[in-house]
Amino acid sequence: MPNLAAPLFRVPLMIHYLLIDCPDEPGLVFRTSEVLFRHGLNILRNGEFVEPHDHHFFMRTEFDGPCDPAVLLRDLRAALPAAAAIRLRDDRPRPIVVLATREHHCLSELLVRHFFGQLHAQILAVISNHDNLRPITERLDVPYHHISAEGLSREAHEAAVLAQIQQYQPEFVVLARYMRILSPEFVAHFSGHLLNIHHSFLPAFIGASPYAQAYERGVKSIGATAHFVTDQLDQGPIIAQSVIPTDHTQSARDMAQAGRDGEKLTLARALTLVCREQVCVHRNKTIVFE
C-alpha cells in the first residue's frame, strides 16, 4: 500500500552544470564523479568526448543537490590536472541583451519564448538602430532602446550602443539579424559571449539578395547558421545549423520565407544550448552536448 503520510510533492531539483576540458588522461571521469559523490550530489546526465586529433577531453555533467560552489571547485581542481578548465553554473536563466535592425522574425521568436518562459534566458533589453521593432518589444514588456546610426561614424554609434549594453551587464549579447558589421574593438568586449545568425549560403551568394541568387542557381537546400562572433566576419565557431530542402517549384520569395523560419529557430536553439552550458569552444569549433 502507498504511504499516505508521505508528501504528495517533490522538492524542486537544484540543477547545476559542470563543464571540464583538459588534455586527456586515464581516470578523469572517475575522479570527477568521486568528488561529486563525496559532496552528496546526484548525477542526472553525463556526456564525454575526446577530440581525436589532439587528445583533448571534454565533459558536461548535469547534477542535482545543494553545494558550496567554491568548495566544490576547490576539490575538483585538486582532483583534476592543473591544466583543466572547469566551469560550474546553476540553471538560472542567463541575462542577455538583443541587438536588432528592421527584420522581426528572429527577435519575435526570442521575445515570445521569453514571455512564456521557454528561452532559458532573461532578455533585459532590445537595442536597435531603427525604431520599427519597438511595438512588439514593448508589448511583451521588454525595454527598447533606439540608437540611430544616422549622422554618426561607426565608432561613435558603437560607443553609444556599448554604453547602453553596459548599463544592463548581460552575460550574452545576441545579434538577431543586426545588419551592421561590428568592429574588432566592439567584438573584443564580448569575446565568447556574442552570438550571431545568418543564412548558410556564405561564402557563396554574398550580398543583399542571397535568396534571389540562390533561386537563380536552382539550389536544392537552404539553411541557417548560428555562431559565436569573432574578428573574422561570419567565421566564428558554429553553434547550430539547420537545413531545409527546396525544389524548382519554390520562388525566391518562398525560399526567403523558409530561410527566415530556419534562422529564427536555429538562433533560439543556439541560445538555449549556450545558456544551458551545452557548448564548449575548442580552437575555432564547438563541442555541443545535446
* Polymer length in residues for the chain: 290
By the 8 A CB rule, do 253 and 239 touch? no
Q: Is 156 helix (H, G, I), strand (E, B) or coil?
A: helix
Q: Which of 24, 75, 91, 234 is catalytic?
A: 234
- In angstroms, the CA 121 to CA 112 distance is 12
- In angstroms, the CA 203 to CA 251 distance is 22
Task: Give me 221's grid cell.
Answer: 537546400
**Residue 80 CB burial class (10 angstroms; 0-12, 13-18, ≥19):** buried
Give 89's strand partners. Answer: 17
Neighbours of 166 (CB within 10 A): 11
Neighbours of 127 (CB within 10 A): 21
Neighbours of 230 (CB within 10 A): 18
- In angstroms, the CA 181 to CA 158 distance is 10
- In angstroms, the CA 219 to CA 238 distance is 22
Give catalytic status of residue 234 as yes or no: yes
- In angstroms, the CA 69 to CA 90 distance is 10
Task: Give me 244's grid cell.
Answer: 531545409
Active site residues: 234
